[in-house]
Structure 1
Amino acid sequence: MRVYLLIMLLFSGISFAQNTITGSVTDGNKQSIPGANVVVVGENSGASTDFDGSFKLTTNAKLPFSIKVSAVGFESKTINVTAANQKVNVILKDEETKLDEIVVSASRTPERVLESPVTIERMGVQEIKRTASPSFYDGLENMKEVQMNTSSMSFKSINTRGFATVANTRFMQLVDGMDNSSPLLNFVLGNMIGVSEIDVQSVELLPGASSALYGANAFNGILFMTSKSPFTNQGISTYFKYGVTSQEAAGTNGYYDFGIRFAHAFNKYFAAKANFTYMEATDWYATNYNDKTRAGIDRTNPGYDGINVYGDEASTNIKGVGLKLEAMGLIPAGASNLLPNTTVSRTGYNEIDLTDNKAANKKIDFSFHGRPFGDERLEIIWQSKFGTGNAVYQGANRYYLNDFFMQQHKLEFKGKNFFLRGYTTSEDGGHSYDMIFTGINVNRKWKDDNTWFGQYAGAYIQGTLAGMTPEQAHAAGRATADTGRFLPGTAEFKNAFNQVINEADVLSGSKLVDNSKIYHSDANYNFRDIIKFAEIQLGGSFRAYELNSHGRIYTDANGPIDYNEYGAYAQLMKKFLDDRLKFTGSIRYDKSKNFDGNYSPRLSLVYSGGEKRNHNFRGSFQTGFRNPSTQDQYIGFNIGSAVLIGSAPDNLTRFSETFNLSAEGQAYSGGNATKDMTGLDAYGNSYIASSVNAFSAMAGSNPVAAAALLKKSRANYVKPEEVKAFELGYRSVFEGMSIDLNGYYNIYNNFIGTLNVISPFYGTAQDNPNIAAGTSDPGVQSIRAIQNGEYRVYQLYTNSDVEIHSLGFGVGLSKKVISDFEVGLNYNYAQFDFDQEKDPSFEPGFNTPKHRIKMSVGNDKLFKNFGFSVSGRWNSEYLWQAGFADGIIKSATVIDAQINYGIPKLKSVVKLGAANIGGKEYYQVIGAGLIGQQYFASWTINP
């Protein structure tokens, strides 16, 4: 009891020493400025204004003291406080100060955007408020350098500076310091476990390589999202959006989005907050029925393989089926000669029949914040985040993430000059499934492949004997084989579908199983208060993976795979020439379990010219590297048309399949009835798939010439890829106009990609086998294996020996014109150089338009409490290359717009908005749905 009384007296004494300052912040038109920062000069204590511009600041500073009030788009102002409980009313003058904002991510220390050593983009509270997109995350697409790749309405992947994919392992996304990447997949699932838009404090984007400070995966860029502190942003905030989506394939459907935030500072020592968001919509229907291997849509083609049609991946050479039927005595001898040497595929199911086409996302997070000293000298944070939802992810196949669940938990200690954090990420695949294997195995539920192809061949032969043309005979063969097919919507189809998606074995099911985890820790210390001659920082990180797909995706059937990596870095920052010239030097060392360590240096200079130091020139050089992802190393995933094989040495022996051999194959294999195939066969005894395709096309007419086309694969095990990045830039605020120019040149070595190979069940793969040597020759035996269809197709992860170059430049302009109208314009150019002739089987997958233009115009104060904004973007057409499908992404023009009205008495903003107004539907990913229009109304209450 005595101790309790002493503590109460101590806290009472502290409370008596506090000063509380209240007030408001408005502009020259007496309109409130929400989100303005109010900071005690020389102290860490501060506050932010609420919706109506009011603030309350509690500090231990002794009177008199000064406070500094700042807001984006306004000149900062310093006010002297001379009395306790003083009320301060501040009027800020408009000023274009976007490039004068403070950012942290570029150098891990606060600095003005103008003085950043590299290109950086920022979105703050005001930009989020005025975005014309359906959500703030969608609005990131309007930032300079950003390219968005939409796989699903609830799964959007961000990229910068080329080599974009949906599964973007080259780009990082951090929320409050936590990497949002999936432990199993190694890439970010959009904003599925990100942050609520009413809890976003700021978004910072670093385009390009950033490995010197952020490690191996910061190869193409990093997105930083920082949430609001419950100490400075308190109260209950909420929003509700309702709208419709419109797409020709899906029609018009409802769209719901709701979020609520609770935050309270109980005293200066303890605060807490919680967020909940819910979004539900009908996803964009994927209805691209073009053939993957031929131009156009021709479902009468016997080997048709539609992009968004699944089950037709099960295919075979129909002449080979006839030979087997002859050997089994099921058709007369010689009848197989009536069959063409062509590939026939099973009849597949459209994607819209294999998913409920729902996009949904639910997020919950909470955090507890403690300040033992009552200020920001030390803050201890426990944060937990949970996200679940439905989305379509496109990798080598199309996958429906159904009730996919991911969670993160973090403990962090941070102060003015340091942080120490540790967090864990875990996930559960829920009821997710592979749509290609769903189609394949629903087909097998009503008729196995051997029976189907046998019936097709038999009906084709009968039709030919009856005088049918080849086209008619193919149609008769398919009609006969499709007898008994389960039709979508029937009870038989639904029953088979539910059985398949709940079974993980790819021979009969399609369920994705995943219980993988990441354990991560990192720390940083800035010695600026100890070492005066320069600002020096030291830091490091450690990460451990626990891969656990239960053998469904990785080779972890016998238990989880453990994998770890660590890194350490140092940075020195020094100013010269009356603080006009800033030098920054950084270096980082990273080591991963299966690879040698890598050093990543970065050197940069920034010179601030002009009387007001508002002409800032910068130049930087840095190297970056990317360790092969866990997929590149440990995957062992049958996708139907091929098996994806990671190249970690222990992975190659863990992956194994057993195949039955024909009588001829048994003769070449020492009488063995079966053949065990492992990853060692994929990398050590295989042909490049493109050479086999060329061989097959010519083998019937000229076998000798055809054999000369065969090329043995010599793919090496995958190793880290590297980039050397050069950048020049200029930033300025000149006569009210913000100018940001940048140019870059990148050199990539050991670029990671995939290579399709074909491994024969018997014989030895070799260049230009001597077809005249007879069947005792191992090379000839390998040809016979290919001709007999006794081979396995693999997709290997490897590196290209060809050096890849990319370059680009960007221009960003913004200016306030005609009172409070603000106009923005930016342009990005990007191209790459890859000599395809030196590596004809390698797909670099640049997947980036050469030209992109984005424009915006808006006015937050068109008249009292009323504002609007319009944004537009255009991109030129470009080639999309990916494991699932290749194709041309056509040029697109997209216009978004919104009007908003503030209701100060209710502390509310009502917004009406539309995305892709009147525009054509457009693709961002070949294989995903066309993006249509969205119209919405929202009501946000933010006290």
Structure 2
Amino acid sequence: MKTKLLLLCLFAFSGMAISQTTVTGTVSDQDQQPILGANIIVMGTNAGTVSDYDGKFMLTVDQDPPFSIQISSVGFQSVTQQVTAQGQDFSIVLPQGDKLDEVIISASRTPESVRESPVTIERIDSRDIENSAAPNFYTGLENLKGIDVNKGGLTFNSVNARGFSSFANTRFVQLVDGMDNASPALNFVIGNFLGVNQLDVQSVEILPGASSALYGANAFNGILFMNTKNPFEHQGISVYYKTGITSQEAAGDNRFYDFGIRVAHKISDKMAAKASFSYLKGTEWWATDYRQYTLNEPGEPDFISPFRSGLAHDGINIYGDEVATDINAVAQSLEAAGLIPPGASGLVPSVVVGRTGYKEKDVTDYEAINGKADFSLNFRPFSNSNTEIILNSRLGFGNSIYQGASRYQLKGFLLQQHKLEVKGDDFFVRGYATTEDAGDSYDMRFTGININRINAPEWFGTYVGAYLNAITTGASPEQAHAGARVFADENVTFQPGTPEFQAAFDKVTSNPDVSVGSKFVDNSKMYVGEGNYNFRSLLNDVMDLQVGGSVRRYSLDSGGTIFTDYDGPIEYDEYGAYVQGIKKFMDERLKLTASIRYDKANKFDPSYSPRVSLVYAAGADREHNFRASFQTGFRNPDTQSQFIGLNVGRAILVGSAEDNLDRDLPGTDLTGRDAYFDSYSLASVNAFSQSGDPSVLVPVQTDLVEQEQVSAFDVGYRGQLGKIFMDINAYYNIYDGFISSKLVVTPKSGSAFDASGIMDLATGNVDVFQLYTNSEAEVSSYGLVAGLSTNFAENYRVGLSYTYAKFDFDQASDPDFRAAFNTPEHQVKLSFGNPEVFKNFGFKINARWSDEYLWESSIANAIIDSRTVLDAQVNYTIPKLKSVIKIGGTNIAGDEYRSAPGAGSIGSQYYISWTINQ
């Protein structure tokens, strides 16, 4: 019996040994340079491996020859080889790929070549990132044609396309492996804060323009897809370290460093795992605009006065100077209390004096931190199927500066996502949750205001006493005011750097009550479920037919510091479904895509978003591709426009959801209902203040915000003329119910619809509100994006693009409406480089020019100057160390610029990096 068992075991073992086949090989390009990360897959299975830094691979499978393997890499044509024997060694050369044949998924939710895409698309992959002149791949997106990146700080950058831009860009969606990357509370993406470690980027795709037909609400200006590397196909350890300096006139030279690691391992043919981590630390761009922006009419830049031009100066990057009062009233109170001689108050003029505020650098340390971690466990349970189960968690944490209606210090901010997904060739089902914790974040404006409020009575009393002393000793009023300010500041104001100031700062920034504190509380959550099925295999590939849907729940929890959720979280839902068909005709030269989506959100009517597109491939090699599309998109009012209740100093922001109108608002005894239905237009109040004529006042009732819709027309050409690759796109968008903000002035005691409101205006007994509504005016935007690229003299590559963007809006038809297009009319971008000038040495240069434009926001309306920015890098590959050394710089000409009023000026950044790929 023992002998039989031994023979049986030996037979089984020998059978296992026979069934295993191992092959090796090297993958290189046509210049005999090794290709890192090429995929080697056994056709018809999910078994495979990838090439290492030297292009080498070893593949072991439980399968006897003969069978076929496919070798592929981004930017190259695929090659198939037949395995006929155990131990074969292959030398594989991948031909350079045609840009038109690069495969994308995002445009139609199904694999298709770039040439077949029904819309314009911008794309980069890991090879583009390796050659980028930008310090990180995310800011490098601004070199793509038609794409804008607004830089709010070192770690907060906002991507946009086709206008209507802001740092809080709720019209642009960002997905990471299918997950919406937006903050649950604020409905916009905080840059790459919860994004991707650059070592884990497989590809980045951007669809400019409306994409609601497949991706739902808010995919209005465009959508950005970040796809990460699968651990089954991209294994090993990769590390990078980057350091350098940021250089700015205000902040000087400051060191930064950036470190990242990625580890991935295929445990078996059925299980793989990966983990990645990155950490950046540096110094934010200092914001040092201390001028006062006097609010002008929408559509026009605000008047700018020099620093400290008046007794109540309100500098844009100075906080606490908003604390102001009439010093004659203070003098009368002091006189009544016997603290100044009888009759002395008559020497004090009735003028408003503001406290000396704190510069932004006094209320923040400008420390920029961003850490990102990503963990994934992947299962492929079936041997002959691409079905995959993915458990994924990612988190982002750190410090940043966000600019919206005010300037906010995000301190210890934490965002995290957790996902379970099952997907295959024809389907996916995923569910994920996004949560955020604001940590120790705070509003910098109210930090300054509430520090100065602590001892405001003492400061103003000291000021009046010093003023009287100066006047009675022969000083002029100007000299008396100047001396009084200096004396009061020296004796009463908490001076930055002192224990007294630090104690006041800690007290204010730890308190979420905006009347005395500035803490930013947010524990909001978002839950999403999505699914999609493609019936093409059931239809024998006659056509591509997809159905899908999604459901989403928001749970807003700011403790009453952002929203009116002081009595508990606010919850609401959105859901939608779509169907899309794709059919090819005329020898597959003509491709027709048609889709429609239904969406419903709480308290809003259903929305329908149809899309139809045609793509025609002309030419003997189908090298000329013409496309045209029409679709309607929609945008649900975001969380802020529905539920916000936030005092930002210059105005009180109030959302227009019906159940939000009667809730308490910070800093006022009025309600949102008063603001929406019993106010004066800002334009008429400005006219009244200049003329004193009550007949110019216009009482207004503001409509509650509804959904915004767009009808988008798009035509384009993509193709090759000899060695020149061309992509030209023109679009025209017509907006219906354009959502934006409107400022109104609301009487506190009287009504705007009778004489009592005029009395409130005359005495200053009013509040200013920023309301969210839809404009009845006609708003449209249109533009052209053209790009050319070519290779010459072996590997030299040059690219040139031009973007024209314009919008039409009749300001006179809606005087108080802010369109906030916030986009240059003309932009030109140039790239030039060679990944291998000589062996192992390459370089890249990027240049960008944009003309001046008007930026509109609740902080200020200002002209953003034209600018020319130059970035460059050189890199050297060390094959023996499997390393790339890169030295580069951004804005190397040193001409500082800003993306928006109130934001820091962008200086230069210089870096050296070392990347190791195992």
Answer whether TM exceeds 0.5 for this pair.
yes
The amino acid of 1:272's aligned partner reads: A
The amino acid of 1:527's aligned partner reads: F
How far did 1:335 drift? 8.8
Asked if 2 retains the 8 angstrom alpha-carbon contact of 1:712 and 1:765, the reply is yes
**2:535 counterpart residue number:** 527
SS of equivalent to 2:130? helix
What is the distance in 2 between the residues matched to 1:478 and 1:493? Answer: 18
Relative to 1, partners in 2 of residues 1:762 and 1:622: Cα closer, same or farther, differing over 3 Å?
same
**1:128 counterpart residue number:** 129
Does 2:853 match 1:878? yes
**1:81 counterpart residue number:** 83
Count of aligned pairs between the two proteins: 900
How far did 1:55 drift? 3.0
What are the superposed Cα offsets for residues 888-928 of structure 1, whole Å, 9 maximum, x if unpaired? 11111111111111122221111111111123111112211
What is the distance in 1 between the residues matched to 2:691 and 2:16? Answer: 89
Asked if 1 retains the 8 angstrom alpha-carbon contact of 2:75 and 2:102, the reply is no
Asked if 2 retains the 8 angstrom alpha-carbon contact of 1:380 and 1:412, the reply is yes
Asked if 1 retains the 8 angstrom alpha-carbon contact of 2:323 and 2:453, the reply is no
Is the deviation greater in 485-494 or in 180-189? 485-494
**1:553 counterpart residue number:** 562
**1:571 counterpart residue number:** 580
Asked if 2 retains the 8 angstrom alpha-carbon contact of 1:464 and 1:470, the reply is yes
Asked if 2 retains the 8 angstrom alpha-carbon contact of 1:657 and 1:677, the reply is no
Relative to 1, partners in 2 of residues 1:44 and 1:725: Cα closer, same or farther, differing over 3 Å?
farther
Relative to 1, partners in 2 of residues 1:542 and 1:18: Cα closer, same or farther, differing over 3 Å?
farther
Asked if 2 retains the 8 angstrom alpha-carbon contact of 1:241 and 1:936, the reply is yes
Question: Kindly, what percent of the aligned residue pairs are identical?
Answer: 55
Relative to 1, partners in 2 of residues 1:803 and 1:460: Cα closer, same or farther, differing over 3 Å?
farther
Equivalences for residues 299-338 of structure 1 within 5 A: 299-316=308-325
What is the distance in 1 between the residues matched to 2:791 and 2:245? Answer: 33
Does 2:895 match 1:937? no
What are the superposed Cα offsets for residues 361-383 of structure 1, whole Å, 9 maximum, x if unpaired? 11111110011113553110000
Asked if 1 retains the 8 angstrom alpha-carbon contact of 2:800 and 2:829, the reply is yes
Relative to 1, partners in 2 of residues 1:455 and 1:709: Cα closer, same or farther, differing over 3 Å?
farther
How far did 1:637 drift? 0.9
The amino acid of 1:475's aligned partner reads: A
What is the distance in 2 between the residues matched to 1:759 and 1:330? Answer: 37
Tell me which of 609, 616, 630 is aligned to 1:621.
Answer: 630
Equivalences for residues 467-866 of structure 1 within 5 A: 471-476=478-483, 478-479=485-486, 481-482=488-489, 483-532=491-540, 533-656=542-665, 676-699=669-692, 705=693, 707-766=694-753, 779-866=754-841
What is the distance in 1 between the residues matched to 2:180 and 2:524? Answer: 15
**2:92 counterpart residue number:** 90
SS of equivalent to 2:661? helix
Q: Give the aligned CA root-mean-square deviation in angstroms.
A: 2.6
What are the superposed Cα offsets for residues 316-351 of structure 1, whole Å, 9 maximum, x if unpaired? 566777898899999999998987776543211000
**1:64 counterpart residue number:** 66
Relative to 1, partners in 2 of residues 1:838 and 1:311: Cα closer, same or farther, differing over 3 Å?
same
What is the distance in 2 between the residues matched to 1:873 and 1:360? Answer: 27
Equivalences for residues 907-922 of structure 1 within 5 A: 907-922=882-897
What are the superposed Cα offsets for residues 88-120 of structure 1, whole Å, 9 maximum, x if unpaired? 21123345x223210000000000111100010
Does 2:24 match 1:22? yes
How far did 1:289 drift? 1.4
What is the distance in 2 between the residues matched to 1:180 and 1:375? Answer: 33
What are the superposed Cα offsets for residues 771-828 of structure 1, whole Å, 9 maximum, x if unpaired? xxxxxxxx22222222223222211111111111111111111111011111111111
Relative to 1, partners in 2 of residues 1:155 and 1:13: Cα closer, same or farther, differing over 3 Å?
farther
**2:166 counterpart residue number:** 165
Relative to 1, partners in 2 of residues 1:87 and 1:340: Cα closer, same or farther, differing over 3 Å?
farther
What is the distance in 2 between the residues matched to 1:324 and 1:684? Answer: 37
Asked if 2 retains the 8 angstrom alpha-carbon contact of 1:408 and 1:425, the reply is yes
The amino acid of 1:568's aligned partner reads: A
What is the distance in 2 between the residues matched to 1:149 and 1:719? Answer: 27
Tell me which of 341, 360, 383 is aligned to 2:369.
Answer: 360
Asked if 2 retains the 8 angstrom alpha-carbon contact of 1:45 and 1:376, the reply is no
**1:36 counterpart residue number:** 38
Relative to 1, partners in 2 of residues 1:942 and 1:546: Cα closer, same or farther, differing over 3 Å?
same
Relative to 1, partners in 2 of residues 1:345 and 1:268: Cα closer, same or farther, differing over 3 Å?
same
What is the distance in 2 between the residues matched to 1:580 and 1:470? Answer: 82
Asked if 2 retains the 8 angstrom alpha-carbon contact of 1:501 and 1:510, the reply is yes
**1:178 counterpart residue number:** 179
**1:104 counterpart residue number:** 105
Does 2:261 match 1:282? no
What are the superposed Cα offsets for residues 700-751 of structure 1, whole Å, 9 maximum, x if unpaired? xxxxx2x122221221111111111111000012312211110111111211
**1:409 counterpart residue number:** 418
How far did 1:525 drift? 0.5
Asked if 2 retains the 8 angstrom alpha-carbon contact of 1:268 and 1:375, the reply is no
SS of equivalent to 1:596? coil
Relative to 1, partners in 2 of residues 1:688 and 1:460: Cα closer, same or farther, differing over 3 Å?
farther
How far did 1:69 drift? 3.1
The amino acid of 2:523's aligned partner reads: N
Asked if 2 retains the 8 angstrom alpha-carbon contact of 1:367 and 1:381, the reply is yes
Does 2:435 match 1:432? no
Tell me which of 50, 53, 67 is aligned to 1:51.
Answer: 53
SS of equivalent to 1:918? coil
Asked if 2 retains the 8 angstrom alpha-carbon contact of 1:320 and 1:788, the reply is no
SS of equivalent to 2:675? helix
What is the distance in 2 between the residues matched to 1:51 and 1:830? Answer: 43
**2:299 counterpart residue number:** none
What is the distance in 2 between the residues matched to 1:333 and 1:834? Answer: 59
SS of equivalent to 2:304? coil
What is the distance in 2 between the residues matched to 1:107 and 1:13? Answer: 46
What is the distance in 2 between the residues matched to 1:76 and 1:821? Answer: 23
What is the distance in 2 between the residues matched to 1:329 and 1:720? Answer: 60
Asked if 2 retains the 8 angstrom alpha-carbon contact of 1:314 and 1:641, the reply is no
SS of equivalent to 1:259? strand
SS of equivalent to 1:782? helix
The amino acid of 2:390's aligned partner reads: I
Relative to 1, partners in 2 of residues 1:889 and 1:340: Cα closer, same or farther, differing over 3 Å?
farther
Asked if 2 retains the 8 angstrom alpha-carbon contact of 1:320 and 1:789, the reply is no
Relative to 1, partners in 2 of residues 1:14 and 1:680: Cα closer, same or farther, differing over 3 Å?
farther
TM score, norm. by length of structure 1? 0.91
SS of equivalent to 1:225? strand
What is the distance in 1 between the residues matched to 2:350 and 2:858? Answer: 27
Does 2:207 match 1:206? yes
Does 2:219 match 1:218? yes
SS of equivalent to 2:699? coil
Relative to 1, partners in 2 of residues 1:58 and 1:679: Cα closer, same or farther, differing over 3 Å?
farther
TM score, norm. by length of structure 2? 0.93
What are the superposed Cα offsets for residues 457-489 of structure 1, whole Å, 9 maximum, x if unpaired? 676678678776554454355346544111111
Asked if 2 retains the 8 angstrom alpha-carbon contact of 1:184 and 1:547, the reply is yes
Asked if 1 retains the 8 angstrom alpha-carbon contact of 2:39 and 2:71, the reply is yes
How far did 1:54 drift? 2.1
What are the superposed Cα offsets for residues 666-696 of structure 1, whole Å, 9 maximum, x if unpaired? xxxxxxxxxx421111112111233223322
Relative to 1, partners in 2 of residues 1:230 and 1:742: Cα closer, same or farther, differing over 3 Å?
same
What is the distance in 2 between the residues matched to 1:233 and 1:391? Answer: 32
What are the superposed Cα offsets for residues 831-851 of structure 1, whole Å, 9 maximum, x if unpaired? 111111111111111111111
